[in-house]
Amino acid sequence: MERIDTEILVAGGGVAGLAAAAAFAREGFDVVCVDAEPPVVDAGHERSDLRSTALLAPSVAFLERSGLWPRLAPHAAPLRVMRIADAGGEAPTIRASADFVATEIGAELFGYNLPNWLMRREMVAHLAELPNARLVAPARLAGLTPRTAGAVARLAGGTQARARLVVAADGRDSFVREAAGIGVRRWAYGQKALVFAVEHDLPHEGVSIEIHRSGGPFTLVPLPDGDAGPRSAVVWMETGPRAEALFALDPAPFEVALNARACGVFGSLRLASPRRLWPIVAQMADRLDGPRVALVAEAAHVMPPIGAQGLNTSLADVAALLDLVVAARAAGADVGAPELLGRLHRARHPEALVRVLGVDALNRAAMAGWPPFRDARLAALKLLHGVPAVRRTAIRVGLGVGSRRPEPAQ
């Protein structure tokens, strides 16, 4: 039976888990990352994650610290403007829009957008070059036993991994969270999201557009231009039956429905990738700490894909945990001690909960189909954008500026 000894065991090889592994390795820790799926290195693979992620400025700074950004930057599309548009009238046309511009708070950009599958490809390649990092995949965790000085994880094939700290980044159905006995609250919306990429006639000029009508928001986020011209990633949220009906359409009728929902922005839209269908849920773990366990990313919280909050909140979790663990090592303390993990919970759980509930409210407003509710949504948008101080505050909150940091060790 193989035995693996390491300082940090990261469960989960998604973007957050790979970023965590790279970050801890960059700080000099021995790291093993375990993922149940083989690495996906091609957008055409049937299991490829065709979603994209808008990495906001704090996340970009974290990826720079982790040594990952030089690999990712060449594939990133800059985000300069976040536009919210309301198309809630009788006709599917935009009746009002509001631009939130990065320069208004003294920033050149909000951040960058990248395809998830590409980020994973580059992160896997980066880890392969680090002498103190190892990716074990495909490998499924089958047991977790916390002990006084560390934790022992058992893999399905019989391999044992011993670590001082286990970072649970293994998704919304986290095995580590369940093994640690941490409860979770989950709720659904009866929605699904269609995700895919499009080519379009007009340049996006760094503008991300979120169009509200009913069923959920329709969002176009810039991608780097392709051979055929400008490209954007699309997240199209609808009620479950409507999303499934759209997903089942052949490409030609799907593009007709797509262009009607896009209300003419960026000119004619054409499919530039396969389509994927994702269920929309929200979720919040009761705690982010357990015996020798720290919960981050979707093991800790899940939210609908609105306002670029999901992965950015996840990377904020990892950054906070990294700061605590680096400080503990410098002080000669235990990097998996209950006191340290408790500080992570107190710093990150309240903020993550606020973001989950905030996105929940935005999603319910975006789903509204009854005309009075749609008119109320339009009025709220005008109020939010029309008062400069409120608008700037909304931008800073969305970016995560001023997020609470873990309290120092006593």
The mean pLDDT of 238-245, rounded to a whole number, is 96
pLDDT greater than 90 at residue 160: yes
| CA neighbor of 39 nearest in space, from 143, 122, 114, 113 | 122
pLDDT greater than 90 at residue 62: yes
pLDDT greater than 60 at residue 68: yes
At 174, which amino acid appears?
S
d(CA 290, CA 336): 10
pLDDT greater than 60 at residue 386: no
Residue 313 contacts residue 404 (beta carbons within 8 Å): no
Comparing 122 with 91, the larger pLDDT belongs to 122
The mean pLDDT of 330-336, rounded to a whole number, is 97
Mean residue pLDDT of the chain comes to 89
d(CA 146, CA 153): 9
Residues present in the chain in total:
410
- At 214 the pLDDT is 78
pLDDT greater than 60 at residue 370: no
d(CA 225, CA 230): 4
Query: What values do phi and psi take at 9, rounded to 5?
Result: -110, 120
Percent of the chain with pLDDT over 70: 87
Residue 44's pLDDT band, with cuts at 50, 70 and 90, is: low
**Tokens at residue 32, please?**
């093993």
The mean pLDDT of 99-112, rounded to a whole number, is 84
370 exposure class (CB count in 10 Å sphere: 0-12, 13-18, 19+): exposed
Residue 308's pLDDT band, with cuts at 50, 70 and 90, is: confident
**Tokens at residue 274, please?**
């396969």
Torsional sign, CA 345, 350, 355, 361: positive
Residue 72's pLDDT band, with cuts at 50, 70 and 90, is: very high
| CA neighbor of 259 nearest in space, from 270, 249, 248 | 270
The mean pLDDT of 19-26, rounded to a whole number, is 98
SS3 category, 198: strand
- At 1 the pLDDT is 64
42-46, 49-53, 81-85: segment of lowest average pLDDT:
42-46
Q: Which of the 8 DSSP states describes residue 365?
A: H
- At 228 the pLDDT is 78
Neighbour order of strands in the sheet with 3-5: 3-5, 160-163, 151-155, 141-146
**Tokens at residue 175, please?**
């095995």
SS3 category, 360: helix
d(CA 94, CA 262): 9
For 171-180, write each residue's pLDDT tens digit: 999 999 999 9
- At 383 the pLDDT is 55
pLDDT greater than 70 at residue 410: no
pLDDT greater than 60 at residue 122: yes
The mean pLDDT of 120-149, rounded to a whole number, is 95
| CA neighbor of 176 nearest in space, from 280, 289, 283, 278 | 289
Hunting for tokens 């001082």 — which residue is that? Answer: 164
CA-to-CA dists, residue 241 to 54, 215, 281, 287, angstroms: 28, 11, 16, 34
For 180-207, write each residue's pLDDT tens digit: 999 999 999 999 999 999 999 999 999 9
85-99, 108-122, 221-235: segment of lowest average pLDDT:
85-99
**Tokens at residue 76, please?**
């990133």
Other CB atoms closer than 10 Å to residue 90's CB: what's the count? 7
- At 170 the pLDDT is 97
Query: What values do phi and psi take at 228, rounded to 5?
Result: -90, 5
The mean pLDDT of 269-279, rounded to a whole number, is 94
CA-to-CA dists, residue 24 to 19, 86, 320, angstroms: 9, 43, 12
pTM (2 d.p.): 0.90
- At 407 the pLDDT is 63
Angle between helices 338-367 and 371-386 (to 10 degrees): 120
CATH no. of 3-44+114-186+284-365? 3.50.50.60
- At 87 the pLDDT is 82
pLDDT greater than 90 at residue 325: yes
* C-alpha 375: how far from chain center: 30
Tell me the domain boundaries of the chain.
3-44+114-186+284-365
pLDDT greater than 70 at residue 402: no
